[in-house]
Every structure is written in structure tokens, then in C-alpha cells.
Amino acid sequence: MSSVKIFSGSASKYLSERIAASYGKPLGDVELQKFSDGELSPYFTESIRGHHVFLIQSTFPPADNIMELLLMIDAARRASAYKVTLVVPYFGYARQDRKDKPRVAIGAKMLANIFEAAGADRIVTCDLHAGQIQGFFNIPVDHMDASAIFVPYLQESITEDTIFASPDIGGSARARKYAKHFKVDMVVCDKQRKKANEVDAMQVIGDVDGRDVIIFDDLVDTAGTLCKAADMLKEKGAKSVRAIITHPVLSGNAYENIANSTLDELITTDTLPLKQKSDKIKVLSVADMFAKAIRKIHDNESISSLFI
């Protein structure tokens, strides 16, 4: 049976080191050469012939992160790796999952095509923006669920005053899943957008008076919607408002927005690196979850035990 070798792209090395440590194997050595014009050239400094290679890299901007991962796939293939499995904790471009207006790209499908063309055998990711993106691939997709991280964390803090919330209609299924597990009520924040990252209007569907609200979403970008939802929930009588977010994209004025908002706490994971520290942000690691997934995938075992 082939042995496992784990490698990391430069953007996700902080997380890859934790995954490798949890797996019990040192992170493999891969060098990234850069030409003076910015062209990338990664190469493995150890033999991977006949090995099951796991490449870890989240595909967040800049596009160099995606290009580096693609070149690593090609290098592994040309070095006679037995299999190449991508571990992409945050799958970028997932918000482009359909044509919501004429003459636009479906970025998530394009990225799936590119990974397959480069030679990936399987992809492991977490909390896709839209679950149907799994169908964009013609290779196996292991879609990990961050509820395995968040549910144990929340277990002791759920009270009779707790109520869950979705920041929009589209994310209501996610909040409902948690509400069903903990047997609590939920509300929905109905928002209308003029354009991306800009909310035109918002209203709460449900009663939050005197309740401790927990908002669930897959990612937070500029945090404008999240902070507006927190402010509105407080105005409606909520005692406290916390947010559970899988992917901390946190671009633009996100940190400033969170610091100045009535949001009490933002609980997130390390699928993406934080650009700065914040007293309101708590980070839980997905390293153990991905390490267990890597072991089960290599041993051809079911990963269903990793789900709640």
C-alpha cells in the first residue's frame, strides 16, 4: 500500500503544519521558486514516486495561490505520485456558482474543471458556499462540515434563551440544521442587495426579544451584512449576538466593522489566516478534522463518522 506524504502551498502553511502534526507525520518539503517577473515554479525536494500525495492550500486571493496549487499538482503527477488529493479548506470562487445575470462566468465550475485537468484525483474541502458545487466535479469530493468543530464548542453554552439566526434566506438551511440539533428556535434576517458586499435593506423574520442570538453563515467578507444584522437584532431586543462563521475572509474594513459593531463575539476557524488580531474574534482549528479525513481517505475508510 502506498504511504502518505503531505505538502503545503505557501499560503496555508500555518494550517498544514497543524494538520501534519495531528496526523503524526512531518510536513513534506516543497520549494517555491519565483522568477523576477513573479512567475512561480514549485518543486518537491524529496521523492514522491508511488506515494499518495496530499496537497494543502486554500484558494483565496491573490490568484497566485491557485496557480501555485495547480503547478504542484502537475509536478506531483510528473514525479509519478500514486494519487494526488487536494485538501482545500476554503474553496475560493464558490460564490460564483450560477449565472445570476447575463454574460457572467461560473467561477466555481471553471475552477473545478481546471483542478481536474491539472490531474487531481480527489478534493477535500469544507463548508462550500453552495453544496451543489460538489456536482461540478467529475472526481470524488469529500465535503467536510464545520459543525463537527462548532457543535462541541457550543454544547455548554446553549440555554433556554438561545435562538439561532440566518443572515439571509439562502443560509436558512444551515441555521435550521443547528437549530434542529440543539432543539432551539430560529429566525431569518431577510436582506436585499444593490450589489455585492452592499446591503440595501434588512428585516428580521421572527421574535428575538430577550434572547441570546447566534448567527450562522459559511463565510464573512467585509462583515457589513453581519454587523448590520447584529445591530438590528439588538434593536429588536436581543440580549446578545454572536456569530459562527466557517471562513474568515475578512477583507476591506471588516476588522474595523466588527470592532465598532454591537456584535459580542465572532467564532470562526483557521481555514483562512487572520490578517490581524481582534478581541471579538475566537478561532477554532480544523486541523484535527482534516488530519482524520486524510487518514480515512488513504485507508479507504468511510468519513461519515467525522460528521455530526
- Does residue 263 contact residue 244 with C-beta atoms inside 8 Å? no
Q: One-letter amino acid identity for 246?
A: T
Determine the Cα–Cα distance for residues 182 and 160; give it in Å rounded to an integer.
10
Q: Looking at the annotation, which residues are catalytic?
A: 191
> In the structure grid, which three cell numbers stand for residue 11, read together?
499560503
- Does residue 218 contact residue 171 with C-beta atoms inside 8 Å? yes
Determine the Cα–Cα distance for residues 2 and 53; give it in Å rounded to an integer.
10
Determine the Cα–Cα distance for residues 246 and 252; give it in Å rounded to an integer.
18
DSSP 3-state assignment of 174? helix
Pairing type for strands 40-44 and 30-34 reads antiparallel
